[in-house]
Amino acid sequence: MSVNLTRPVAPDPYSLLPAVPDFTLTSDDVGPGERLPDVHTNTDAGSNVSPQLSWEGFPEATRSFLISCFDPDAPGPAGWWHWTVVDVPVTTTSLAAGADLPAGAFALRGDDGQARYVGAAPPPGDQAHRYFFVVHALDVPSLGLGPDAMPGAANTAVTFHTLARAVLVGTYQR
């Protein structure tokens, strides 16, 4: 049975949140609007390796970061959380590709139930999906969440603590 996945493009989910200042997020692995290399996907060609990320220009009042990867183009009304890392220390301003997380930081279970980065895996034949890699600069050292918190809850909690936000969008299609 073939499913028709034709649908409108989902809006930029971060454009729907309260406006905050931005700062810079870059990657040695993917540039704005570029296709994610296969190694960062959850496909037969991929290895579920998180991309390298670096950020700068965040407010001096920042006390921690939340890092996430979200696909708003996943079929279904709620998109797909691929990665959410909470309680990233303010002294951390980059993560190497596939890096272990800094002390105190931890990954929440994504929409596939795994507490780690899970790469892009759009349905074959679907439109190109956008992967929003986002770093939130927070005004608290910890969101106070446990490892069983859901990504949606964490990403809602940051709304009340975000000083600034950095966004890098990659794409993937198969």
pLDDT by residue for the chain (174 residues), tens digit each? 678 899 999 999 999 999 999 999 999 999 999 999 999 999 999 999 999 999 999 999 999 999 999 999 999 899 999 999 999 999 999 999 999 999 999 999 999 999 999 999 999 999 999 999 999 999 999 999 999 999 999 999 999 999 999 999 999 999
Angle, CA of 133, 156 and 53, to the nearest 5°: 20
5 occurs within a structural domain: no
- Say what the pLDDT of residue 2 is: 78
Q: Is 38 exposed, middle or buried (0-12, 13-18, 19+ CB in 10 A)?
A: middle
Residue 75: domain span: 17-172
With CA atoms as reference, report the closest residue to 151 among 104, 106, 105, 110: 110
115 occurs within a structural domain: yes
62 occurs within a structural domain: yes
143 occurs within a structural domain: yes
pTM over 0.95, yes/no: yes
74 occurs within a structural domain: yes
- Say what the pLDDT of residue 130 is: 99
28 occurs within a structural domain: yes
The label of the residue with tokens 């990954």 reads 107
- Say what the pLDDT of residue 3 is: 85
Cβ–Cβ under 8 Å, residues 135 and 66: yes
- Say what the pLDDT of residue 18 is: 95
For the chain, how many structural domains are there in total?
A: 1
9 occurs within a structural domain: no
- Measured CA to CA, the distance from residue 42 to residue 122 in angstroms comes to 9
Question: How confident is the model over 135-152, as pLDDT tens digits?
Answer: 999 999 999 999 999 999
Q: Find the CATH number of the domain harbouring 46.
A: 3.90.280.10
In the three-class reduction of DSSP (H, G, I as helix; E, B as strand; rest coil), residue 116 is classed as coil
- Say what the pLDDT of residue 1 is: 64
- Say what the pLDDT of residue 105 is: 98
50 occurs within a structural domain: yes
